[in-house]
Structure formats: C-alpha cells, structure tokens
Copies of this chain bind each other. A is one copy, B any other.
Amino acid sequence: MKIGLDVLGGDYAPESNIKGAIEAQKLLDESQRIVLFGDEHATRKAIEAAGSDPSKFDYVHAPENISMHEHPTKAITQKPNSSIAKGFELLKSAEIDSFSSAGNTGAMLVGAMFSVKTIPGVLRPAIATNVPKLKEGFGILLDVGANADCKPEMLNQFALLGSLYAEHVYGIPTPKVGLLNIGEEEEKGNNLTVATYPLLKANNKINFIGNAEGRDLFSDHADVIVCDGYTGNVALKLAESFYVVTLKKGFKDPFFDRFNYERYGGSPILGVNAPVIIGHGISTPEAIKNMVLLSRDMIASQFIEKIRSAFN
C-alpha cells in the first residue's frame, strides 16, 4: 500500500507535514508506505533532523508548490513539477494508492477529476466532511463545496456516496441519510430539495429517513446529511466558527473537542477513482497524521471498489 502525501501544501508546510508523516509512519505496518511529494533532498534532511530515518519513506521529487490563491486549472497544467500535479500523475498510473494534501482545494478537485477521473455512473464528485455528533462519534455532511449548484440527481448520488463512506470507512451500519431542508414535511423546501426528496425516497440503496434541518446537524437524527455544495460550505464554515468561539472562550467539552479538524485529518473527495483527501489549510502535524491514517483506512476498506460496484 502506497499512501501519497503532499509535503508542500498547507499553511504550516513543510514542517508540519513532515512531522505528521513521521508520526503516522509509526502507526503503519511494513506493507504500508508513505510516499512524500515535495523537494526530495530537503524532505530527507528534515526527516533526519527530526530524528527519524528517511529510508522509512518513499519520495517523489516535486519541488514546486501550488499556492492557496492560484487558479486551480492553470496551476495544475502550468506546474507539472508541483507536488499536487505529480501526486495525481502517480495516482493515475497507480504508483500510489491514495493522494492527500492540505494545499489548494480547487487544485485537488481539478487534479482528481482530470487524472483519476470520476467513477463511471457518478455525475459529479462531492467533498464530504465529518460532523461531530452530540452523543458520540461523527456523521457526514456532503457536498461542502465541490458543486455550488446541484441537480436533484446529483444530491441523490451524494446520498449514496456519503452512505457508503459512513458505512465502510466510519463503520456505521445502515447509515441514516437525511436531506438538509427547512421543514420536516416532504413538501417543504426549495425547488432543489422538493425535487430531490422523492428520488431519495425511491433510492433503495440508502436508508433515507426524510428531511434534516439545520438543528439536526449535530443530533443523532441522521448519520449522513445531503445538500448542495453552497449550503454545505456555509453550514460547515458556520459550525467551524462556532467551534472557534468555544475555543477562544476556553470552554472544554468532549463534543466541542470532536469539532477539531486535527482529529479526522481531512475531507475526502467522494466519487473519483481513488482515495483523495483534502486537508485543512491550517493542518498541524496531528491533522496530517490523521489524514495519512484516513487514507490508509480508505485504501484498506476497498472503499473505491464499493462505490464502483454500487454505481455499476
């Protein structure tokens, strides 16, 4: 198993990424190798300086970086030696089994779609994020930004993608799927959700439990909540800001702790032909470590195969 990791992406790169890789490596077995994309020489030196052994890792020399504010499509094509472009090049040729980066989200999305491509039958990939649940554990919210405008058929597919992710990667049996909406009743909503409801209701590959409201995000009402990428992104950033407030105010609580993005490592792009994970821009070593472990879990669970057969 080859777990590709971008050393250059993220606000705290490369230090944070290298530290995270070192920590993650300790938890992997011998068959699981982390492949580091960045300046090989500098990366090896940094690993050595951190007291670890560079031979525990594989390397792909990709010294260029795509910054946070570059145009995704332009950057990917104009910087073939960037860590993200190289990562997707090797993911496409199956020299690595997954690729993750805390770098430019748009470049990650474009890279994934142009290299490994969308799984046949999937209309559009979606970015999923996990949402802490009040009682315990996590739920899934998607799409949180890949598709600002959605059609009902897309939301119906996101429901299946999210359900499979919750089941196979998070280990939630028969995940409850809810449609993010503004009322409990079937007829409530905007044009999109009103048209989506009957599709979800008729979808026998998911356990649809009806509408979920904004207040249900953290409750046990649903394990997977489906919405368009505009609404999901607004909801995600709103929830994050609330978490930041509790941090600033010094409120400690296991529920708020679960908001910590460091714990889950990143947001997967669901619906492409390989595990691809986007890390938070401010990824710490802990976040990077967990992104590597999530990559491993996605590979080990043969999640991509599960999606392929579900959409077959």
Contact = CB atoms under 8 A, between A and B. Distances in A.
A37 B269 CA distance: 55
A255 interface: yes
Greatest chain B CB density within 10 A among A213, A214, A217, A255 is at A214
Interface in A188-223: 189-191, 193, 213-219
Contact of A214 (B216, B241, B246): B241
Contacts of A251: 246, 249, 251, 253
A238 interface: yes
Contacts of A234: 180, 182, 213-214, 227, 231, 234-235
A240 interface: yes
A235 B233 contact: no
Contacts of A216: 241
Interface in A230-259: 230-231, 233-242, 244-246, 249, 251, 253, 255
A190 B238 contact: no
Secondary structure of the A contact surface, majority rule: helix
A97 B236 CA distance: 41
Among all A-B residue pairs, the 8 with the closest Cβ atoms: A214-B237, A214-B238, A148-B190, A215-B241, A182-B233, A190-B230, A214-B234, A215-B237
Given A215-B238, A238-B239, 18 more contacts: A180-B234, A182-B233, A190-B228, A190-B230, A213-B233, A213-B234, A214-B234, A214-B236, A214-B237, A215-B240, A217-B238, A217-B241, A235-B238, A239-B242, A245-B255, A246-B246, A246-B251, A249-B253
Interface of A: 134, 145, 148-149, 180, 182, 189-191, 193, 213-219, 227-231, 233-242, 244-246, 249, 251, 253, 255
19 contacts: A134-B245, A145-B182, A149-B191, A182-B229, A182-B237, A190-B228, A213-B234, A214-B233, A214-B237, A218-B241, A231-B231, A234-B234, A234-B235, A235-B235, A235-B238, A246-B246, A246-B251, A249-B255, A251-B251
